[in-house]
Amino acid sequence: MAALSTVCSPELLTTILKSVLIDPLSNQTMSADKLSNKIQYIGAITKSSAHKMEPEHLSIAMDVIFSSMADLDSDDLDFFEACLLTLESIAAKNPSEFLKKLDPALELLMRCAKYDPNYMDGGDDVDDDNNDDDESMFDEDSDNGLVYESDDDDMSWKVRRAALRCVRTIVSSRMMPVDVLYNTLGALLLSRLREREENVRVDLYGTFADLLKEGGYANKKREVAGDRMVDATDFADQSSENGEKIDNIVLQIREAAPRLASTVKKDLAGKPGKAALSTIRVLQELASIDPEHMAGVMVPLIPELDSCVTEQNVQVKSSILVLVSRLHLANVSIVPFLSLPLRAVEDRFYKITAQALQLCAKILSAMHTGPPELAAPKKDFAVKVHEISKERVVAAKQDTEVRQAAIEVLGVVVANYAEALGNQIAGETVALLCQRLNSDVTVLAALKEIDRIAESPMAGLLMPMVEELETTLIKLLRQKNVDVRRAALQALRDLVPEAPRKADTELLREVTKVMTEDELRSAALAIAVVTELVCTRKISVVQAVADLAWDPFLKLASSSLPRGQVLEAMSSLLKALVENEGVDSALSVSRMVDNLSEIGVKQISDDKRLNAQSTAMFVSVLIRESRIGLNLLLTEENL
């Protein structure tokens, strides 16, 4: 039926639905098996061809589902599950029609989510019907006496799972206001924290995570508008009343979080299985909504999370690292959570190790400017991660991704925590990074970290090997890999102040080969290297620049391609040349103005006025930076 509905016309589908499905559904004497089949047909057709279905047909189908499930005393669990799955399909594909029947649908879903006839705990559900309608989601009884034993003969969990999946669809479709979602479905989900079947807990936590995500979305929207809790343009017409509702959601989440965390702790403390991944996702969303508050709530969970990093599957470990990353990005103190990535870097699976090392590099890079009271823990963390990373880099058999991530950690630690390592170990690490330049696999990662060290206060650690390092970097400029050439140029730019002068001519010769319009980003970096040479070597290098770099510069200036970074780099070079012009300079301001003026006149004659604007900008730089250039233009002939 589903396949047929995709190819037939809307008129034919309407006829088929009416004669084969809708009319028979009105038959009160139809057997349960036939009724179940008809309802499943409706669900399948809804998934594939919802846009072709008549609203009245969906309305009839939902009414039949509501009437058929008015009494859940029947043992036909497969029929109940089929009805709920069809309801989920309608909610996903026809939310506008589902919304018309929202009240009876929610009433049914709440009953089915608690449907557990074989659970003999002698107590009522947490969200007893006698509770006030306006009771918030966190005003619930405690979950003392949770029982998680599963009965293999009890299949009622399928009904509860189907109900929760339908609830999840309602949440993700955003058919209801966020505050209504929290006050209705939030209370339902909290009441089901007593769920004993793991298959259902997976969907329970997944649904709760989606609900929390909706709250996080609302918070981000108001945060941009200046409120701590979303995009001002999207909420420009938002009333203060709606703002208070969203604030109330955050308060509800804060008050519900400890209880939810307590249940999560119990779930992870036992033998966490399939539900663990959904559990961690709930924590991720809590961290996104209110990181400062939730970080404190999650601290008691660290032993269980630590155990999961050691024992659980790859997906769970990766999700825990994402959780720590979210806390880190929110600028909250993650010192209590540092044991999680530290344990993960020693994982046997390379993907987890690489992810953990990358996270450690980000954390270390951000923590070095933290408050003084964190000095001891961050230095201890840096030393431990450095030791593990060094082992990963020198290991004979190591995955490429892990080795590259470990190199990044080494660079970050040396650049920011060299004092904690000591000069000897820091020097050995720098030597190791230089060695990795000889490997095609790690050359790019090593270049980036050498550049990081060269930019940092620890640049002096490169001095013992700077001559050899400069020679290696110059050779790398001849590589075919564009990324390697760019990284080598960046490293050379930062290394020039420390490099010996005897290699300046060779450096200029190789760098100017990159100053072409074929590769503009590399050309901008090459010009930046020349500029740094002029700024540090002063007038002594101007002759070499005139002989080797000026003609490529003029060729770029006459091109129609240079824009943005290239123009900025060229302007900076002109400023440096003007500042370091000598009495008998090989690149006098008058020569530069004459050369650029010739190019500009030719561009105007060729009707390339846009290109002429760039050339005029270069001339204006010379005029602005030099009185001589101004005098050249203020001659009697020019006036």
Structural domain ending residue among the three candidates 478, 501, 519 = 478
CA 278, 281, 282, 285: dihedral to nearest 10 degrees?
Answer: -160
Domain co-membership, 213 together with 164: no
Q: Which among 559, 594, 552, 558 is positioned nearest to 573, based on CA atoms?
A: 552
**What's the pLDDT at 28?**
59
User: Over 50: is that where the pLDDT of 301 sits?
Assistant: yes
Q: Residue 349 falls within a domain, yes or no?
A: no
Average of pLDDT values for 225-231? 37
Total number of residues shown for the chain? 639
Domain co-membership, 185 together with 68: no
On average, the pLDDT of the chain sits at 80
Residues 453-490 as b/e (b if ≥16 CB within 10 A, e otherwise) read: bbebebbebbeeebeebbebbbebbeeeeeebbbbbbb
Residue 27: pLDDT band (50, 70, 90) is low
Residue 141: pLDDT band (50, 70, 90) is very low
Residue 382: pLDDT band (50, 70, 90) is very high
Structural domain ending residue among the three candidates 454, 478, 502 = 478
Q: What is the pLDDT of residues 407-422, one digit of tens each?
A: 999 999 999 999 989 9
Q: Residue 296 falls within a domain, yes or no?
A: yes
Q: Average the pLDDT over each of 237-241, 389-393, 408-412 and give the range with the smallest value.
A: 237-241
Q: Average the pLDDT over each of 56-60, 88-92, 229-233, 238-242 and give the range with the smallest value.
A: 229-233
For the record, the structure tokens of 155 come out as 């299949």
User: Over 90: is that where the pLDDT of 427 sits?
Assistant: yes
Q: Residue 463 falls within a domain, yes or no?
A: yes
d(CA 372, CA 593): 54
Q: Average the pLDDT over each of 47-51, 327-331, 477-481 and give the range with the smallest value.
A: 47-51
Q: Residue 48 falls within a domain, yes or no?
A: yes
Q: Residue 1 falls within a domain, yes or no?
A: yes
First-residue to last-residue Cα distance in the chain: 87
For the record, the structure tokens of 215 come out as 């709250």
Domain co-membership, 376 together with 468: yes
**CA-to-CA separations, 401 to 441, 543, 630, in angstroms, rounded:** 9, 45, 56
Task: Report the CATH number at residue 85.
Answer: 1.25.10.10
For the record, the structure tokens of 274 come out as 């399939």
Containing domain of residue 386, as a range? 364-478
**DSSP notation for 377-391:** HHHHHHHHHHHHHHH
Q: What is the pLDDT of residues 14-24, one digit of tens each?
A: 777 777 666 66
Q: Residue 592 falls within a domain, yes or no?
A: no
User: Over 60: is that where the pLDDT of 220 sits?
Assistant: no
Average of pLDDT values for 37-49? 75
Q: Residue 234 falls within a domain, yes or no?
A: yes
For the record, the structure tokens of 241 come out as 């009343």
d(CA 461, CA 453): 8
Domain co-membership, 291 together with 395: no
d(CA 604, CA 32): 86
Domain co-membership, 46 together with 161: yes
Domain co-membership, 223 together with 164: no
Q: Average the pLDDT over each of 142-151, 358-367, 461-470, 626-635 and give the range with the smallest value.
A: 142-151
Average of pLDDT values for 4-16? 74
Q: Residue 237 falls within a domain, yes or no?
A: yes
Structural domain ending residue among the three candidates 478, 505, 539 = 478
**What's the pLDDT at 123?**
42
Domain co-membership, 105 together with 36: yes
**What's the pLDDT at 29?**
62
For the record, the structure tokens of 169 come out as 């669809």
Average of pLDDT values for 279-303? 85
Domain co-membership, 80 together with 192: no
Average of pLDDT values for 384-409? 93
User: Over 90: is that where the pLDDT of 530 sits?
Assistant: yes
Domain count, the chain: 3
d(CA 203, CA 167): 10
Domain co-membership, 202 together with 113: no
Residue 356: pLDDT band (50, 70, 90) is very high
Domain co-membership, 160 together with 13: yes
Domain co-membership, 294 together with 380: no
Q: What is the pLDDT of residues 611-635, one digit of tens each?
A: 788 888 888 888 887 765 455 555 4
**Percentage above 90 pLDDT, the chain:** 26
Domain co-membership, 389 together with 286: no
Long-range contacts of 360-364 (CB under 8 A, 24+ apart): 360/385, 360/389, 360/409, 361/405, 361/408, 361/409, 361/412, 362/325, 362/328, 363/328, 363/334, 363/338, 364/409, 364/412, 364/413, 364/416, 364/417
